Amino acid sequence: MSLTQKAIDILTKNDRGGYTIPTSGLYPYQWNWDSAFVALGIATYDFTRAWSEITTLIEGQWPDGMIPSIIFRSDDPDYFPGPSRWGNTLGPIPSTGISQPPVLATVVRTLTDNATAQDKARRAEVYDALYASHKWFHEARTVAGIVTTVHPWETGRDNCPEWNIGLDGMTVAPDLAPYTRMDNKHSDPKFRPSQEQYDKFLTIVQFGQSVGWDQRRLTDEGPFLMADPNIHFVLLRADKDLRAMAVDLGKPTDEIDGWIDKGEAATDYLWNDDLGAFTARDVRTGQFSGGFSNCSALCFYADSGTPEQRAKTLENMERIAARVDYMLPSWDPDAADFEPQRYWCGPLWPQMNYMTALGLSEQGENAMAERVRADLCRAIEQSGFWECFNPVTGEGCVSSQFSWTAAVWLSWQH
Ligand code: 9YW
């Protein structure tokens, strides 16, 4: 069977009727940015079904505009932390109380870019929801002009060592309710976040519940507050895509222009001059993390950063390309805590390679774009459609039969 057919079979198997789960067992719900990438893959063979991936995700949007990271349409005892642990969240469907990198507007623009009447109608159908979700980031999560994050899970890069500076600054709640992890039952603990990290992740969830999921209070008073290059660059790109759709639909652009100006100014805030790279930063202390991650090069995807910053970013990529066989590792092989098989401490992640390669090629950096694209394809050909891959050996990590890996593969075959 061809890999393309295998990819379609994985997406079909993970279909739960209108939306797709990332993989059965470990992740049995609809995840925010997973669904956006999945839509790109399904659109290569069934546009109507791809579109429902987007509309079902929007069904979970909160009245304040936030699209949550996970939508719980059931309570699966095999997953923790599920709806009961997140408590009384504020959306129309039980969900988490945090968001995820907002790739959705970019995906919608990509899928409706043929200037047909139907494309325009589809843009009109979801525009207000997308607009509200961006406004939420620019209001509920913004501190002094910087879009922040309150939880490593919100960044989509759960246990990346970038978060250690923020996590080191917090303590586990003394009254943290007891719990049993389920992730380690579905995959080898050597791939997964540590126990101390998990306790801190749940401490933030408990704080969110204690303020009734008031997002402004979670940002201002919560135990963790960092700026993430992933959310920053993904949102900046998505704001530009939202603006293009606003023009197409004859909507006003003034507020979006303000967000874009604010975003361009904030790019500099994330520039770690010692490393010559965009890295995460603790917003309360100003401290930078100490390594190049797989969102550091998303400046190309967002078409942001100065020529010097871009040149140094490419230099870092060349350095890393000489250290691993499969670009792009999620954490710097020359930094402390690099572990090539542990989740966001080293493995290559398909959706990050997708965005990085796209940005590099859009900005004319074709050789590095091709390396980032071809290395993921090689890892898939060697090992299959895993959640992520060891960047040294190309072996698959965590879960096989993974939806966004199949989707990225399909989107690249067209
Ligand atoms: C978790 C579903 C999600 C992704 C995240 C990834 C992981 C969930 O899986 O988080 O329980 O740790 O880090 O980016 O959306 O695929």
Residue in the structure block whose two tokens are 């960044």: 155
pLDDT the model gives residue 214: 98
Q: Is the dihedral of CA 10, 13, 18, 21 positive or negative?
A: negative
Q: How far apart are CA 9 and CA 14, in angstroms?
A: 9
Find the angle CA(226)-CA(228)-CA(230) to the nearest 5 degrees. Answer: 160
Using the mean position of ligand 1's atoms as its centre, give its distance from the Cα of residue 77 in Å.
18
User: Can you list the alpha helix ranges (DSSP code H) found in 213-306?
Assistant: 215-221, 229-249, 254-269
Contact 414, 364 (CB under 8 A): no
HSE, side-chain direction, 13 A CA sphere, residue 283: 23
| Of 11, 31, 355, best ligand 1 pocket probe by most atoms within 8 Å of the beta carbon | 31
Task: Fill in the amino acid letter for 143.
Answer: V
pLDDT tens digits for 186-242?
A: 888 888 888 999 999 999 999 999 999 999 999 999 999 999 999 999 999 999 999
* Residues across the chain: 414
Q: Give me the phi and psi of 56, to 5 degrees please.
A: -70, -35
CB of 347 within 6 A of ligand 1: the answer is no
Task: Fill in the amino acid letter for 335.
Answer: A
Query: What is the distance between the terminal CA atoms of the chain, rounded to a whole angstrom?
Result: 18
Using the mean position of ligand 1's atoms as its centre, give its distance from the Cα of residue 183 in Å.
11
Contact 74, 144 (CB under 8 A): no
Predicted complex: ipTM over 0.90: yes
HSE, side-chain direction, 13 A CA sphere, residue 255: 11
Using the mean position of ligand 1's atoms as its centre, give its distance from the Cα of residue 25 in Å.
13
Strands 226-227 and 281-282: antiparallel
Residue 373 carries which DSSP code?
H
Contact 383, 401 (CB under 8 A): no
Residues 6+ apart with CB under 8 A from 126: 54, 55, 58, 108
> Closest Cα to atom 12, ligand 1: which residue?
158
pLDDT the model gives residue 189: 87
Using the mean position of ligand 1's atoms as its centre, give its distance from the Cα of residue 139 in Å.
25
Each domain of the chain, given as residue ranges in start order, spans 3-412
CB of 34 within 6 A of ligand 1: the answer is yes
Contact 151, 224 (CB under 8 A): yes
Tokens of 286: 């100003």
Residue in the structure block whose two tokens are 């890393």: 320
Regions of the chain short of the pLDDT cut 70: none
Q: Give me the phi and psi of 322, to 5 degrees please.
A: -80, -10
pLDDT the model gives residue 27: 95
Residues 6+ apart with CB under 8 A from 369: 356, 357, 358, 360, 361
Determine the atom of ligand 1 nearest the C-alpha atom of 183: 11
Determine the atom of ligand 1 nearest the C-alpha atom of 69: 15
**The domain defined by 3-412 carries CATH number 1.50.10.10:** yes
As annotated, the active-site residues are 158, 387
Secondary structure element (H or E) that encloses residue 236, with its range: helix 229-249
Mapped onto helix, strand or coil, the DSSP state of residue 318 is: helix
| Of 158, 160, 295, 408, best ligand 1 pocket probe by most atoms within 8 Å of the beta carbon | 158
